[in-house]
Structure 1
C-alpha cells in the first residue's frame, strides 16, 4: 500500500545524512573491512556499573509500571540536587520534567511554543534535528550563518539583527553539536536579555554541558527562571540507548508540558528512570569525571594531529566530543566535504561526517569528527588519513 497524500511538513524535513553514512560503513564492515567510526556521536563508554545494577534490581523487583508523565519524584529530586552540587543553583524539583531522551524534551518544547509560520532563530551550523523539531509543528527555523569568528554560535548582535516580525524565540546549544563550542557566559546573558526584552522564549540545549573542558561550568539556568533548558543522560552519563533526558521549565510551563507528555509519551521508561538514580551515587560521579578527563585527553591528541595533516581547526572545541574541521585545503578541484568523507570511508576505512547535515553555511568545506572512540582508534585513524592524503 502506498500513501499519495503525505503531510506537507515532510517536505521541510531532510534525510539524516549521518545515518546514511553509517549505513555505508556497515555495508563495508559486512564485506570484512575494518572501519574506525568517528561519525555518530555516541560515547564508547557504557552505563556505569551501579546504573546497570540498579536497572537489573528494578526489573527483579517488578518496578516496570508506568510512572508519572513528569518522571519519578525521586529522580526529579536527584536532578535538582545535581544542579545544586555542580552549579550552586536551587532548581525546584517541580520545575524538572523527565523525558524520553532530550529529543522528546525538544519535541515537547516545540509542541508547546511553536505555532504555524513562527520563526525560531538558531545558528548555522547546528544539530539538524533541532530545525526539524520546529518544522514538525509548522514553524520555520531561521538559520543564521555563524562562522569561527562567532565560535559557530549566535551572538547577541546577530539575534538583534535577525529578529523579525514572525520571530518567537531562539534555540541554542552549548556546547554544540557539531562544533563542540560553547557560548561564552557573558554573550549568552546578552542574548537571553534581548530575547526576554522582545517577549520571546529561549531554549538552551545543554546535553553536552557535563562534557566541558575549559573554565568553570555554568548553566543557562543561572540567567533566570524563564529559560527552558534541555539535558540528557545520554552523553555525560553514557546512557544513549536508554532514551532518558529531562527539561527544566519556568513554573508556568510545567502544567502545559505535562499535559502534552501525558498524551504523546505517557511516561519515560520506568526501568531507565530507576537505573538513572544510580548516576548520582559518588562512585558513578567519580567514574564520569574520569571519563570526562579521557575525552579531554583524546581532544588534546586529535586536534593537533588533524592540523598536522592539513586540516584547519579555527576554534578549539571546549566541550562535547567533536572536532569541526575545515578540509578545504585538502579538497581536489571540484570536490566538496561530502565527497571527501565518502572517499575517506571507502579508501581509508575512517567514517566521518560532512557539514551537509548541519546547515548550508559550512556544508561544502567542513567535516565533523567524533573522538568518542578509543585513543588507539584515533591514532590509527590519523595514520590512515595520513596515507589517504599522501602525507605518510
Structure 2
C-alpha cells in the first residue's frame, strides 16, 4: 500500500537553485584554460562576512564558553543593536522586545505567516515576486493572491490595485527594494499602502532584506509607517552573511508572544555564533559600503552594456543587485533561453518564470553582485552570442 505524501511536499522548485546546479556542473566540465562561467544567477554577494564579524566569531570560539541555545528571540545585545539600527538609520523607535532574531529571512517568513494567517487565507503580493513567498504560503495551506504588475507601476503594487480586490485579502507582502525587479516604493507610497492595510484589516508584511543597497532613492521602513506591520530583514545581502543564516523581524505587539512560541518549537534559536558575528557586523560600515560601491559600479556597467548587447528593456534598478530584463523580443521561453545562454555563452541567469509563472517566459533576472571583472565581461559575451 502506498504511503501518503503531504500536500506541503508539492511546493514547486525554486528554479534559481536548479540554475546554480547547472552552472556548477558546466564549470566542473570545462577543460583547463577555457573561459569560466559568468555567475549572474544567484543573489549572493561574492564577498564574505565583514572582517569584524569574522573576528568576533573567532574570539567567541576561542573564548571557551559554550555556544549553546539562546533565547528564542536571540541574544539581548543583538536585539538591542538592531533596535538601535532603526533609531539611527530611520529615526524610528523600536523596542528590543519587538525584535526577533531568526534563522535568516527564510526562517522568518514561516513564523510570520503562521502567526498572522490561517489555513485558506489569501495573501496578496505583486508579480513578479520572490518565489518562496508563494511556495511557503502554499505549503502552509494559505492562498497566494497575485497582483500582476508591470513597468507602468514599476513592478510594485498600488493602492488602486488593492482597492480593486474583492474580497479583501488577509495579508499583503511588499518588498522594497524588490527581488527580482530592483524597484522601490517611495516613503509616501509605502505609507499609503500601510494606511490602506490598517483601514481594511489587512496584515502588512514588509520584506526589507535589501535595505542598505539602494542607489539614489531613500529607503523607508514599514516600522515607521504602521504599528501592525511585520518587518523582515536579514544579514545576508548588505552584510554579506548568506551562509551564517541570520536575520530578524520587527513584530507588532500582538504577534510578539505568538511568534516567540512558534520559534521556540520550530527553531529553538538562531545559531549562537552567527548572532555574535551579526552584532559585530553593525560596526563594519566602511567595508560594507566598499562592497556596495562595487555593486554600484557593476550596475552602471550593465545598465550601459546590456542595452548595447540587445537587452534594452530593463526595469528601473533602484536597489538590490538585480536587473529585470524583458526579453520578449528574443523569446517567450526564458527557461530554454537561459539554458542555451549557459551552454553556449557561459553566462548563468535566472528564468523569469521563477518569479512570475504566468508572464515570466519573457523575462530574465541578471544578478550583479558578483566580481566586477565578470560583470564587465558579460555584455560583450552576450552581444557576440546573440549575433551568432
In 2 relative to 1, CA 329–22 (structure 1 residues): closer, same or farther, beyond 3 Å? same
Per-residue CA deviations over 1:46-68 (Å, capped at 9, x if unaligned) read 11111101111111122411100
**Among residues 347, 356, 359, which one is paired with 2:353 in the alignment?**
356
Deviates more, 1:227-236 or 1:58-67: 58-67
In 2 relative to 1, CA 70–163 (structure 1 residues): closer, same or farther, beyond 3 Å? farther
TM-score, with length taken from structure 2:
0.95
In 2 relative to 1, CA 248–351 (structure 1 residues): closer, same or farther, beyond 3 Å? same
Partner of 2:297: 297
Partner of 1:79: 82
Matches within 5 A, 1:45-64: 45-61=47-63, 62-64=65-67
Is residue 145 of structure 1 aligned with residue 148 of structure 2? Answer: yes
Deviates more, 1:227-236 or 1:129-138: 129-138
Equivalent residues of 1:84, 1:90 under 8 A apart: yes
Counterpart secondary structure, 2:92: coil
Partner of 2:101: 98
C-alpha distance in 2, partners of 1:3/1:104? 32
Partner of 1:178: 180
Partner of 1:243: 245
Partner of 1:255: 257
Is residue 21 of structure 1 aligned with residue 14 of structure 2? Answer: no
Deviates more, 1:231-240 or 1:381-390: 381-390
After TM superposition, give the deviation of residue 136 of structure 1 in Å.
2.0
TM-score, with length taken from structure 1:
0.94
After TM superposition, give the deviation of residue 163 of structure 1 in Å.
4.4
Equivalent residues of 1:124, 1:361 under 8 A apart: no
C-alpha distance in 2, partners of 1:87/1:367? 33
C-alpha distance in 1, partners of 2:57/2:130? 30
After TM superposition, give the deviation of residue 5 of structure 1 in Å.
1.0
Partner of 2:371: 374
Equivalent residues of 1:123, 1:144 under 8 A apart: yes
The two structures, once aligned, show a CA RMSD in angstroms of 1.5
After TM superposition, give the deviation of residue 314 of structure 1 in Å.
4.2
In 2 relative to 1, CA 381–267 (structure 1 residues): closer, same or farther, beyond 3 Å? same
Equivalent residues of 2:46, 2:369 under 8 A apart: yes
Counterpart secondary structure, 2:329: helix
Partner of 1:342: 339
| Structure 1 unaligned blocks of 5 or more | none
Counterpart secondary structure, 2:133: helix
Deviates more, 1:213-222 or 1:150-159: 213-222
C-alpha distance in 2, partners of 1:161/1:3? 45
Residues matched between the structures, number: 383
